[in-house]
């Protein structure tokens, strides 16, 4: 137990010096007195060896050597004094034995001191080391505690000596219990690892400890030597590093993307938690994980993108379908950036995959709906135009380009529209443009285009002001190619006009008797007036006043006949409709006049409302007259079989509201059955044997073409009221 004894020796040597030296001196004096002045016949000087040993145990090697020499001198002096020149063989032999004993003891003591010094120096060196060195016995009692241990734990050697080490320092190990560490040390002769201890001031220190078992010559465990380094700072740094790593990992795991990093050739060696949730795990036996998870159809493109990125060192940007754990492929955006070393060489790649399945589906749905819209636009020949005002930045759809017959790369503009507009309609386009610049909420205009090949297109443009985007006013509009519709409408109008003409001619045939009467009556009156004038002239004294009166009648009747013929001619003529402002009441009165004979022939009473005031409408005279006559003729025919009641035709006009005039033709005829009332205005519907069934259908076309409406109200067996309304011309000026 050298380590146990050495400190005690080293401490005791200094302290015991004062007590040992006098003792040694006393013994030396006593031995000398006995040896020199008594006659005892034994080798008393041998006891000087005790003096040497005492001094050696407390003094230095020099002191010991000096004391040894002193003892030799005292032995020789004592020998000479006690024998006074008479030396017997026995006394010489005793003296020699004593000297040998002193010499042997001194040599052994000096050697022992030499080795003790060596050990002490080594011990001092152990004290000097920064490491904490502790020796403790099998019961954990501290037997050595160097300065390093004092600095590390705060207890002095004196405080620590004899204390149970693990209890004193509250030793803990993160890897295993203390008992196991002890067993391990006893079994294998040593242990090393990290421990946590409490300092004297209560602070925790982390140490790296190395224990070595000390055995005696027979192999029996004596003590454990433990050297320890303070690794608290390193440990704290490691903990901080770990914390930062954990935080970084948690941050990376929290990123709503699948983060990965790869070696410079692009083989991933790290994937974050989201990959695991997705069902993708890195495996040692799989070198290139992309091959196993990327859709086979997308793999070549992705590999090509990788090769390109690796070759050029540029960022990777691609999309691919990646398989999930349930086998479903989802579209992902794959992006990666290279990390370079100081020389600019790529060391690693850091990438993020973002699930864009929803975005892709939305995009596909958008593409589909765009395709649908494009198809629908082509089929309906309707293009769209978005216009920002006042800059007039425009966006045209494909169909709009087709309608304007402009190549797709040309930038759309108002000037381009003007260039394509028919010269006669350029004012319409200008007005629409001005309305847009004024910010009107709704724009609706129809105009023609004159294309480069000379063809003409009719277009209908409708636009409305949409919610302002970023403070800009924008019109969203539709441009419809209505050429077919307009052409068809024109054809329809032509055939309607022709049909109306045919109907009028037919009607004139039916009115022949009435017309003939209307024409012959003024002619007969002219003849009568002519005769009268001749008679007034042939008198002996011609009465010129009467002649003048007769000529006046002739002129009036001739005018009337001319008017009737003009009306008949107009009705018989084939001509395009030409609207003009006229009085609906005057028109009704003329119609009654024309049919007066017909009405009289059928014994029909005519009743009118006040037809004298003016109801100004802007219409084609002949067409509206046709409508009124047609309604009256139908009424005449409906009443032809009525004998049980008065045949009465009532024509009434009035202003419906601020904007419309209404004309009603009411009869007391057969009326219309509920069933027939729905088909009344259908072409070729007739209940008459000689009827064609197109009269009312033409009437409806004419009225609706004038912006009006026609309908019937009837009570079967009691009569019918046919009525129509027309927009008033300048309603404010119309007298009521």
Please report how close the Cβ of residue 691 comes to ligand ADP at its closest, in angstroms.
3
Helices (H), ranges, 323-443: 357-380, 398-404, 414-420, 426-438
Q: Minimum CB separation from ligand ADP for residue 610, in Å? A: 23
Check the CA dihedral 177-180-185-190 and report its sign. Answer: negative
Half-sphere exposure (CA, 13 Å, Cβ side) for 228? 29
Which residue, 619 or 635, has its beta carbon nearer to ligand ADP?
635
Q: Which of residues 76-135 bind ligand ADP (CB under 6 A)?
A: none
Q: Map the footprint of ligand ADP across residues 378-407, applying CB under 6 A.
A: none
Angle at 656 between CA 652 and CA 660, to 5 degrees: 105
Give me 615's structure tokens: 């109801």
Q: Which span (122-130, 154-162, 532-540, 686-694) binds ligand ADP, by CB under 6 A? A: 686-694
Cross-strand partners of 396? 385
DSSP 584: H
How many residues in the shown chain lie near ligand ADP by CB under 6 A? 23
What minimum distance in Å lies between the beta carbon of 698 and ligand ADP? 8
Q: What is the full DSSP assignment across 603-644?
A: T-EEEE----S--EEEE-HHHHHHHHHHHHHHHHHHHTT--S
Instruction: Tell the smallest beta-carbon distance from residue 662 to ligand ADP (Å).
Output: 17
C-beta closer to ligand ADP: residue 599 or 722: 722
CA–CA dist 725, 735 (Å, integer): 17
Q: Which residue has the tokens 């029996």?
A: 220
Nearer residue to ligand ADP within complex by CB, 59 or 708:
708
CA 532, chain centre distance (Å): 103
The nearer residue to ligand ADP, 148 or 669, going by C-beta atoms, is: 669
- CA atoms of 575 and 569, how far apart (whole Å): 11
DSSP secondary-structure letter at 729? S
Cβ atoms of residues 204 and 194 within 8 Å? no
Asked if residue 688 binds ligand ADP (CB under 6 A), the reply is yes
Structure-token match 């050297």, residue found: 227
Site string for ligand ADP, 656-675 (x = CB under 6 A): -----------x-xxxx---
Peptide bond into 72 cis (omega under 30): no
Q: Is 148 a binder of ligand ADP (CB under 6 A)?
A: no
Q: What are phi and psi of 328, to 5 degrees?
A: -85, 135
Q: Minimal CB distance to ligand ADP: which residue?
A: 695
Applying the rule CB under 6 A, the residues between 616 and 645 that interact with ligand ADP are 630, 634-635, 638
696 binds ligand ADP (CB under 6 A): yes
Stretch that binds ligand ADP, among 109-117, 276-284, 424-432, 680-688 (CB under 6 A): 680-688
CA nearest to 475, candidates 426, 431, 427, 442: 442
Which of the ranges 132-140, 466-474, 606-614, 678-686 carries the binding residues for ligand ADP, by CB under 6 A? 678-686
Q: Please, what is the minimum distance in Å from the beta carbon of residue 546 to ligand ADP?
A: 48
Rounded to the nearest angstrom, the gap between the alpha carbon of residue 670 and the centroid of all alpha carbons in its chain is 73
Q: Does 692 bind ligand ADP (CB under 6 A)?
A: yes
CB nearer to ligand ADP: pick between 474 and 666: 666
Nearer to ligand ADP, 303 or 686 (CB): 686
Minimum CB distance to ligand ADP smaller for 560 or for 700: 700
Contact pick of 221, 335, 577, 693 for ligand ADP (by CB under 6 A): 693
Tokens of 641: 């079989």
Q: How far apart are CA 275 and CA 125, in angstroms?
A: 58
**Binder of ligand ADP out of 134, 705, 710, 722 (CB under 6 A):** 722
* N-to-C CA span, the chain: 141
- Position 691 contacts ligand ADP (CB under 6 A): yes
Question: Is residue 686 involved in binding ligand ADP (CB under 6 A)?
Answer: yes
Taking residues 563 to 602 in sequence order and writing x for each that binds ligand ADP by CB under 6 A, - otherwise, the string is: ----------------------------------------
Residue placing its CB nearer to ligand ADP in the complex, 637 or 653: 637
Scanning 173-181, 458-466, 558-566, 681-689 for contacts with ligand ADP by CB under 6 A, the matching segment is: 681-689
695: contact with ligand ADP by CB under 6 A = yes
Contact region with ligand ADP (CB under 6 A), list: 248-256, 286-294, 473-481, 685-693: 685-693
685 part of the interface to ligand ADP, by CB under 6 A:
yes
Residue 270 · residue 282 · CB < 8 Å: yes
CB of 716 to ligand ADP, least distance (A): 9
Q: Can you read off the two tokens belonging to residue 45?
A: 């000087």
Please, which residue, 44 or 672, has the CB nearer to ligand ADP? 672
Residue/partner pairs of 62-65 with CB below 8 Å, 24 or more apart: 64/106, 64/109, 64/110, 64/113, 65/106, 65/110
Q: Which residue, among 687, 630, 603, has the nearest Cα to 510 in the 3D structure?
A: 630
Classify residue 519 as exposed, middle or buried by CB count within 10 Å of its CB (0-12, 13-18, 19+): middle
Q: Is residue 702 close enough to count as binding ligand ADP by CB under 6 A?
A: no
User: What is the contact surface with ligand ADP in residues (CB under 6 A)?
Assistant: 630, 634-635, 638, 667, 669-672, 680, 685-688, 691-697, 720, 722
């Amino acid at each position: 137990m050298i380590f146990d004894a050495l400190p005690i020796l080293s401490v005791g040597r200094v302290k015991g010096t004062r007590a040992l030296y006098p003792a040694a001196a006393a013994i030396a004096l006593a031995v000398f007195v006995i040896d020199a002045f008594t006659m005892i016949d034994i080798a008393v000087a041998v006891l000087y060896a005790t003096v040497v040993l005492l001094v050696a145990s407390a003094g230095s090697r020099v002191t010991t050597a000096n004391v040894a020499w002193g003892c030799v001198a005292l032995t020789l002096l004592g020998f000479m004094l006690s024998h006074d020149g008479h030396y017997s063989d026995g006394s010489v032999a005793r003296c020699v034995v004593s000297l040998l004993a002193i010499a042997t003891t001194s040599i052994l003591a000096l050697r022992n001191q030499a080795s003790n010094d060596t050990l002490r120096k080594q011990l001092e060196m152990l004290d000097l080391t920064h490491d904490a060195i502790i020796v403790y016995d099998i019961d954990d009692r501290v037997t050595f505690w160097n300065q390093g241990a004092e600095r590390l734990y705060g207890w002095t050697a004196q405080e620590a000596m004899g204390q149970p080490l693990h209890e004193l320092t509250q030793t803990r190990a993160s890897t295993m219990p203390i008992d196991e560490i002890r067993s391990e040390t006893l079994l294998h002769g040593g242990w090393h690892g990290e421990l946590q201890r409490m300092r004297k001031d209560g602070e925790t220190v982390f140490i790296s400890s190395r224990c070595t078992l000390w055995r005696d010559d027979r192999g029996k465990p004596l003590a454990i030597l433990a050297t320890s380094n303070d690794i608290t700072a390193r440990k704290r740094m490691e903990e901080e590093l770990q914390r930062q790593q954990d935080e970084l990992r948690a941050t990376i795991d929290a990123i709503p993307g699948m983060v990965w990093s790869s070696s410079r050739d692009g083989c991933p060696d790290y994937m974050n938690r989201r990959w695991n949730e997705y069902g993708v795990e890195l495996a040692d036996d799989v070198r290139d994980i992309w091959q196993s998870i990327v859709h086979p159809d997308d793999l070549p493109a992705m590999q090509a993108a990788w090769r390109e990125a690796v070759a050029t060192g540029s960022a990777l940007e691609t999309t691919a379908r990646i398989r999930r754990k349930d086998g479903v492929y989802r579209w992902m955006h794959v992006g990666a950036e290279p990390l370079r070393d100081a020389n600019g060489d790529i060391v690693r790649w850091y990438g993020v995959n973002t699930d864009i399945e929803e975005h892709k589906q939305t995009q596909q749905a958008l593409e589909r709906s765009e395709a649908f819209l494009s198809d629908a636009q082509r089929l309906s020949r309707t293009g769209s135009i978005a216009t920002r005002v006042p800059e007039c930045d425009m966006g045209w759809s494909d169909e709009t380009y087709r309608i304007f017959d402009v190549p797709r790369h040309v930038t759309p503009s108002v000037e381009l529209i003007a260039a394509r507009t028919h010269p006669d309609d350029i004012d319409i386009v200008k007005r629409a443009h001005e309305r847009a610049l004024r910010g009107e909420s709704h724009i609706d205009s129809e105009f023609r285009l004159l294309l480069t090949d000379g063809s003409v297109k009719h277009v209908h443009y409708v636009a409305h002001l949409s919610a302002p985007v970023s403070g800009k006013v924008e019109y969203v509009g539709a441009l419809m190619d209505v050429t077919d519709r307009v052409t068809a409408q024109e054809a329809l109008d032509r055939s309607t006009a022709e049909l109306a003409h045919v109907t009028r001619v037919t009607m004139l045939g039916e009115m022949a008797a009435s017309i003939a009467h209307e024409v012959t009556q003024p002619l007969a009156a002219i003849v009568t007036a002519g005769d009268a004038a001749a008679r007034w002239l042939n008198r002996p004294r011609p009465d010129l006043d009467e002649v003048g009166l007769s000529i006046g009648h002739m002129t009036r009747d001739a005018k009337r006949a001319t008017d009737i013929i003009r009306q008949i001619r107009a009705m018989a003529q084939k001509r395009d409709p030409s609207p003009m402002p006229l009085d609906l009441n005057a028109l009704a009165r003329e119609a009654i006049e024309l049919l007066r004979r017909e009405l009289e022939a059928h014994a029909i009473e005519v009743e009118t409302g006040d037809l004298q005031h003016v109801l100004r409408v802007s219409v084609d005279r002949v067409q509206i007259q046709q409508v009124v006559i047609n309604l009256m003729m139908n009424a005449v025919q409906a009443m032809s079989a009525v004998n049980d009641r008065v045949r009465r035709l009532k024509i009434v006009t009035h202003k419906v509201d601020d904007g419309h005039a209404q004309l009603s033709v009411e009869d007391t005829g057969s009326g219309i059955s509920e069933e027939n009332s729905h088909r009344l205005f259908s072409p070729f519907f007739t209940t008459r044997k000689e009827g064609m069934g197109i009269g009312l259908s033409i009437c409806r076309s004419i009225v609706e073409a004038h912006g009006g409406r026609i309908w019937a109200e009837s009570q079967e067996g009691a009569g019918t009221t046919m009525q129509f309304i027309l927009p008033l011309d300048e309603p404010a000026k119309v007298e009521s």
